A and B are shown apart, each in its own frame.
Chain A
Amino acid sequence: MSALEVIVSGTMLAQTARMTIPYACAALGGVVSERSGVVNIALEGILLSSALAAVAVQGATESAAMGLLAGVLCGAAIGLVHAAVVVWGRIDAIVSGLAINLAAAGGTRVVLRALYGSSSNSPSVRGLEPFEHMGPLARTLLDPFLLLTLVSAALLSWSLRRTRFGLRLRACGEDPSAAQAVGVDVGWTRTLAVTIGGAVCGLGGTALAFELHQFQAGMTGGRGFIALAAVIVARWRPWPAVGACLAFAALDALQIVLQNQTKVPSQLFAILPFAATLVALALVSRRARGDARPPAGLGKHPDG
């Protein structure tokens, strides 16, 4: 098979879709958190922690559904901690996010050793694969995680625009003092937003672990930060964020194919998605004065 045939094949499409999921979930979590005005660089730590939680609970209960639930709840719990620290404790969100990321990197290793006596990876788990008898493309398109991701994106996008909670959430992100002045409870709205964001991000961590059928130390490899970049490139909108993640995942899948097909040093191709991200960020910040801007109240607390 030539490189071109591989690129346009169903396998490649399937791989791209599967690789998109963790990025997209984390980016959606980032969107909902930051639209409420809470900076969230903790996405990386949430992905990692929920991946371990999902694997550990599935291993213990033999139930993929319980594993999924654990991954999502773990994400929500960390989101809640971040919100509590930032919204109620008024600690700087960057500091809190950094602490969560460092704690997750170290903490998952500690738990890994305690549970499995290994500092690198867990035993393998079965994951969530209800359509094993189908072809790779059909299996991917019907993948529960893909469907859940798309449903999350649709729900978030709709509720941000069309619900009372979404309107208040955006108001908190734009001008917390003004929102408070008209009776919006800024603290609770933000807490709920960051917790929901954590849950969606936890879905992504679970998908990542189940995709590889095990937990590996540091397995997120910076996906949370790439997702953060996607949030910025997408100007804090849900569907464009998913789109940015898809583009990144496509480049990532492409570079894997190119690595195998050509004689060029593989490291050069490995750079490709990251270089593209950097270029996209640079281009986006150039037109930051345009229609879509970051939430004006990002990182601001209400008066009093």
Chain B
Amino acid sequence: MAVGLPESASVRGARALAVARAVEKRFGEIRAVRGVSIELEAGRIHAVCGENGAGKSTLLKVLAGMLVPDAGEVVVGGARLDPHTPREAIRRGVSMVLQHFALIPVFTVLENLMLGAEPTKRGALDEASARARAQAIADDLGVKLPLDERVEALGIGDRQRVEIARALFRDARLLILDEPTAVLTKSEATQLYATLRRLVQAGKGVVVVTHKLDEVRDHADVVTVMRRGELVFSRPLDRDGDVGAQIDAIGSAIMGAGSVAHARAGDAATGAGDAAASGGGEALVMEGVRVGRGLVDLSLTLREGEIVGVAGIEGNGQKELVAVLGGDVAPDAGIVRGGPFAIVREDRQTEGLVLDASLRDNVVLGELGRFARWHGGIDREALEREARARIERSGAPTDLDRLARTLSGGNQQKIVVERALSRSARVVVAAQPTRGVDLAASADIHAKLRDAAARGAGVLVISADLDELRKLASRIVVLARGRIVAELPPTATDEEIGRHMLGLEGERFDGATP
């Protein structure tokens, strides 16, 4: 397989358990992975880092046979992966443990371990040999596996160990874990890495997808950084050198270099927001809000006429924040005061629009009561007038009979934003308002949000795009692990914001997490 490769590559290739060459993967119009080449080797803990949507999980799912690449080559166990299925990848020793476990809750641990790789004897399951094998794996891992317990009775950490044991039951030589510590407590995470270290010492390869830099600092041997579908770099961590500096470099690579310039560019626009903010009363006050496990202790004040940006890595409470402000859930504790609210939800296709309904219906969705007449019928003329006015303001195509499905993402989003802003709300919450939207439409949507603030509404923008937050907001708060961990001016650099997002400066908050 090494023919034609540079020598260094062929020498390393000898240890490579899985190789991607110029792999490309698209989902619709989004290029999730753009021509990435990577080698995954035995005997190392390899951390793959990047923001949400950077393409790390997609790349590794391609390597594990779960996604078929649109271009490029995947070599597993020395030969091209064919057929490109998880079954074949598993057969060749590559197993991936996903974030949501694929265990069967009512099965015992032993049954889950066996499923798909059952030893049999004279037509029946050979439970004794499966048990012996499971025990040997547990011993190798240095963990206890309650083999006869049903999986549903186990905690998250145990379930994860069962998933890892299951991969080893199938003779996995390369184990890929997708954000394995996202669901674990700090001590469980430490245990997990101890287990992974044992595997690596036994000659297995381990790949961990993570965006927690403290874990990278403490446990990784090799680090790969991805950003916007591209591989930024892939190199070993030099433990003898200045680890802190290397971690900082990884942090900036994750956030993207040269973003200081962007910060300056946003200044002009944010000035207006500042001025309005100083005079406004409180539009929204949140104090000590707790929602499930997502929001732990969130306090936030939003003034009239002010735009506040919420930065943070996805999964740190953004969903719960929108849910509680949108009235989907009541807070378990704390106070939420303010409103009325207008919410631009994150997923316009499932939460924002009825795709198979007309633009007319979509743009007044949820407000039919306004057009009701005394006998219960709808005042169609008034509805038509209002819908037309809104569509024209929105900048989307003005054919009212068109189905929402037929619009581009940008135009769909314009409709969602226009509808939210038409309800003279005092608090506007926009979650990822320009995700997957082209530049021109983004500019339109930003202008509308600024207008809303200028008319006196408090605007909360939740976004993964720091440039967007800097452009819009007069201050940026960082949401991490369910609370606001920092408040920064819009001039803050990516590195500054990133350190808070990644929890590098958030250690002091750890103690209070239940």
Contact = CB atoms under 8 A, between A and B. Distances in A.
A179 B115 contact: yes
B125 A182 contact: no
Interface in A151-205: 162-164, 167-168, 170-171, 174-175, 177-179, 181-184
Contact of A184 (B107, B115, B124): B115
B105 A182 contact: no
B90 A167 contact: no
Given A167-B111, A170-B107, A184 B116 contact: yes
Contact of A183 (B90, B123, B124): B90
A177 B98 CA distance: 13
B125 A171 contact: no
B106 A296 contact: yes
B107 A171 contact: yes
A171 B108 CA distance: 12
A293 interface: yes
B136 to A, nearest CB: 20
Contacts of B107: 170-171, 174
B259 to A, nearest CB: 38
B115 A167 contact: yes
B268 interface: no
- Looking at A162, A163, A167, A179, which has the most chain B CB atoms within 10 Å of its CB? A167
A121 B86 CA distance: 55
Interface residues of A, number: 18
Given A162-B124, A183-B90, A167 B106 contact: no
B118 interface: yes
B115 A293 contact: no
Nearest to A162: B124
Contacts of B278: none
B86 A183 contact: yes
Contacts of A182: 90, 102, 115-117, 166
A168 to B, nearest CB: 7
Contact of B118 (A167, A179, A293): A167
B105 A174 contact: yes
Nearest to B96: A181
B114 interface: yes
Nearest to A163: B124
Given A168-B115, A181-B86, A183-B90, A174 B125 contact: no
User: For the side of the interface on B, what is the size category?
Assistant: 20 to 34
Nearest to A177: B102
Contacts of B47: none
B127 to A, nearest CB: 8
Contacts, number: 52
B176 to A, nearest CB: 14
Interface string B236-258: 00000000000000000000000
Contacts of B114: 167
B228 to A, nearest CB: 27
- Looking at A178, A179, A182, which has the most chain B CB atoms within 10 Å of its CB? A182
B84 interface: no
- Looking at B87, B90, B104, B105, which has the most chain A CB atoms within 10 Å of its CB? B104
A226 B37 CA distance: 61
Interface in B97-131: 102-107, 111, 114-118, 120, 123-125
Given A171-B115, A184-B115, A164 B125 contact: yes
A39 to B, nearest CB: 18
Given A163-B123, A164-B125, A296 B118 contact: no
Contact of B105 (A170, A181, A184, A296): A296
A183 B105 CA distance: 18
B86 A174 contact: no
B125 A162 contact: yes
Nearest to B123: A163
B121 to A, nearest CB: 11
A174 to B, nearest CB: 5
Nearest to B114: A167
A233 B118 CA distance: 31
Contacts of A178: 102-104
B116 A183 contact: yes
Contacts of A181: 86, 102
A164 B115 CA distance: 8
Contacts of A168: 115-116, 118
Contacts of B120: 163-164
A186 to B, nearest CB: 11
Contact of B104 (A163, A175, A183, A293): A175
Given A164-B125, A168-B115, A170-B107, 11 more contacts: A163-B124, A167-B111, A171-B115, A174-B107, A175-B104, A179-B104, A181-B102, A182-B117, A182-B166, A183-B116, A184-B116
29 contacts: A162-B124, A162-B125, A163-B123, A164-B120, A167-B111, A168-B115, A168-B116, A171-B115, A174-B105, A174-B106, A174-B107, A175-B102, A175-B104, A177-B102, A178-B102, A178-B104, A179-B116, A181-B102, A182-B90, A182-B102, A182-B115, A182-B116, A182-B117, A183-B86, A183-B117, A184-B116, A293-B106, A296-B105, A296-B106
Instruction: Kindly list the 4 A-B residue pairs having the minimum CB-CB distance in the complex, ordered from nearest.
Output: A182-B116, A178-B102, A183-B87, A183-B116
